[in-house]
Chain A
Amino acid sequence: MAAANHILLIEDDALSGELVQYILENAGFSMTWVPDGRAAVSHIEASDSPIDLVITELVLPYLDGWEVLSYLRSVDSWRTVPVVFLTDSDDESDIVRAFDLGADDYLSKPFRPVELTARVRHQLTLQSQRRHS
């Protein structure tokens, strides 16, 4: 049996973090949840196990979602890891900026749990195809 894909969730709201964690674990993913951008960067730097996808909120303590994304895109080993924004903001300018900076997907809250799972799965499939091509 193949190992479950590992997802890093960056979310400062406890209930929201628990909800997303539940939804994705329920769909068979393995999850690590950190509450802010600085903890995310520390986790990424210290992490031995590979992370297949990052889900991040936009507004976070210490380092916001933009800064985490910029950091990920500046490190060679993390450049191709899919980053999905799951955020309260549905501003056009935020959506455009997320894709400009290299995000792979953007989902606003309130969201459909099945849609989140489908989008995550889609990103992981694309990532796997990129690796094999």
Chain B
Amino acid sequence: MTASWLGTLVADWNAVQWVLALCLLLVGFVGLLVIYTLYLRLSSARAARLAEQVKAQWQPVIFQALFDESVQADFNSTRLPARKVAAFSRLWCSVLEMIEGESHERLRRLGRILNLESALLPLLKQRRFEKRLLAVTCLGYLGGESASHRLQRIIDVETSPVLSLAALKALMKIDQKAGLHWLFAARYQHHWPTERLVEVLEQVDQRRAIAAVKRAMSIERIERLPDLLKLLAGVHAHLSEEEIRVLADEYSASPDVISHLLPLVNHAALHDWVRAMLSHADVRVRIQAARTMNRVGRKDDLSALLPLLKDRDWWARYRAMQAIWSLPGVSPDRVGSEVAALKDQFARDILRHVAQENHWRREARWTR
């Protein structure tokens, strides 16, 4: 009896010890969380205070430098303290993003006089992504051969596609030739999305961008051709009739290439080819052919577009209806009666949809 009572007591005591240990662990964990939260709050408050200090000290100088070149002479031997570099750079870049012309140049010169490039080097080595991104953006505004080399090195070795793309954008500001080289040399290494590359190419002189994409088209593998055609369409390029015919013949068996080739068509001479593509077996080609009809369509294309209103794909029906709506010399009443004659619910639905959309567009433009 006594032994059993003692056994229970020892077992209970062990359980109590376990519970106490768990409680201590929990208290310790909560304590750590509280300390970390306090640390984050204090760091954030310190950073905000520092940003305020930098703003109070440097914003008047930056604003004055927009108009007054002589301001720069006062800072010839000034070096930014390391802890203020990030806040200053953020302010400097933000103002540069808002302005252009002579004032922009004066502000860039202020950055060079303050030797901002060397000051940015520690930021480029930081673990914090936001700081590195800021440094890369600033290098683009600073310009110069040395900044160009640093950016090219970042594009080459950086593992983050966001940062390498920011470096490419910055490089384009300094040296378009080098930027275009890296755009095509490193795009697959970094998996840069084509849409983002279009934004980068928009910074470049259009003729130069088109020439660079066409050069790449002549040397890249066929799997990459659709992407390159997408880049061309992104920079609003149009291929000549001859170029389109050559590519269309060569890649007639590739719906991927044909569907990316159609947005580049802007020639009435290619009308018959586009019209033929309206009945292509691949839905991507049918959709793009219908879109292209917006530009090259004629009154007599109505009969070729009407069957697409019964297509199983919503986008094909939608693009066909938009093309019909934009055909010269086809009145809304005629469209209405032709669609009614189709006796197809999907065709009627898409007519209602596009008619309503056009009505809203007109309303939005004229009544607001």
Co-complex (A, B):
yes
- Which A residues are closer than 8 A to B by beta carbons? 15-16, 18-19, 22-23, 26, 66, 70, 93, 97, 100-101, 109-115
Contact check, B103 vs A112: say whether CB atoms are below 8 A apart: yes
Residues of chain B within 8 A of A97, CB atoms compared: 365, 368
- Which B residues are closer than 8 A to A by beta carbons? 59, 63, 66-67, 91, 94-95, 97-104, 365-366, 368
Complex Cα spacing A97 to B67, Å: 33
Cβ distance A64 to chain B, nearest Cβ, rounded Å:
10
Candidates B67, B94, B100, B368; contact of A15 at CB < 8 Å: B94
Complex Cα spacing A133 to B99, Å: 36
Cβ distance B96 to chain A, nearest Cβ, rounded Å:
8
Chain A to chain B: the 6 pairs with minimum beta-carbon distance, closest first: A112-B101, A110-B100, A22-B63, A113-B103, A110-B99, A109-B98
Candidates A66, A101, A111, A115; contact of B98 at CB < 8 Å: A111
Cβ distance A56 to chain B, nearest Cβ, rounded Å:
16
Contact check, A19 vs B95: say whether CB atoms are below 8 A apart: yes
Candidates B94, B100, B365, B366; contact of A112 at CB < 8 Å: B100
Contact check, B101 vs A19: say whether CB atoms are below 8 A apart: no
Q: 26 A-B contacts, Cβ less than 8 Å apart?
A: A15-B95, A15-B98, A16-B98, A19-B98, A19-B99, A22-B63, A23-B63, A26-B67, A70-B368, A97-B365, A100-B365, A100-B366, A101-B368, A109-B98, A110-B97, A110-B100, A110-B104, A111-B98, A111-B99, A112-B99, A112-B102, A112-B103, A113-B67, A113-B103, A114-B103, A115-B101
Contact check, B368 vs A19: say whether CB atoms are below 8 A apart: no
Complex Cα spacing A125 to B99, Å: 25
Cβ distance B250 to chain A, nearest Cβ, rounded Å:
36
* Chain B residue with the shortest CB-CB distance to A20: B98
A26, A101, A110 pick with most chain B CB within 10 angstroms: A110
Cβ distance B236 to chain A, nearest Cβ, rounded Å:
13
Residues of chain A within 8 A of B99, CB atoms compared: 19, 110-113
Complex Cα spacing A18 to B95, Å: 10
Complex Cα spacing A24 to B99, Å: 14
Contact check, A111 vs B100: say whether CB atoms are below 8 A apart: yes
Complex Cα spacing A125 to B303, Å: 58
Residues of chain B within 8 A of A109, CB atoms compared: 98
Residues of chain B within 8 A of A18, CB atoms compared: 59, 63
Residues of chain A within 8 A of B368, CB atoms compared: 66, 70, 97, 101
Residues of chain B within 8 A of A115, CB atoms compared: 101
Complex Cα spacing A93 to B99, Å: 23
Cβ distance B368 to chain A, nearest Cβ, rounded Å:
6
Complex Cα spacing A109 to B100, Å: 9
Candidates B97, B101, B365, B366; contact of A113 at CB < 8 Å: B101
Residues of chain B within 8 A of A22, CB atoms compared: 63
Complex Cα spacing A56 to B63, Å: 21
Cβ distance A120 to chain B, nearest Cβ, rounded Å:
15
Cβ distance B367 to chain A, nearest Cβ, rounded Å:
10
Contact check, B59 vs A114: say whether CB atoms are below 8 A apart: no
Complex Cα spacing A22 to B62, Å: 11
Contact check, B98 vs A110: say whether CB atoms are below 8 A apart: yes
* Chain A residue with the shortest CB-CB distance to B91: A15
* Chain A residue with the shortest CB-CB distance to B361: A93
Q: Give me 5 other A-B pairs in contact (C-beta within 8 A), A70-B368, A100-B365 excluded.
A: A15-B95, A15-B98, A18-B63, A113-B103, A114-B102
Cβ distance A116 to chain B, nearest Cβ, rounded Å:
9
Residues of chain B within 8 A of A15, CB atoms compared: 91, 94-95, 98
Residues of chain A within 8 A of B98, CB atoms compared: 15-16, 19, 109-111
Residues of chain B within 8 A of A70, CB atoms compared: 368
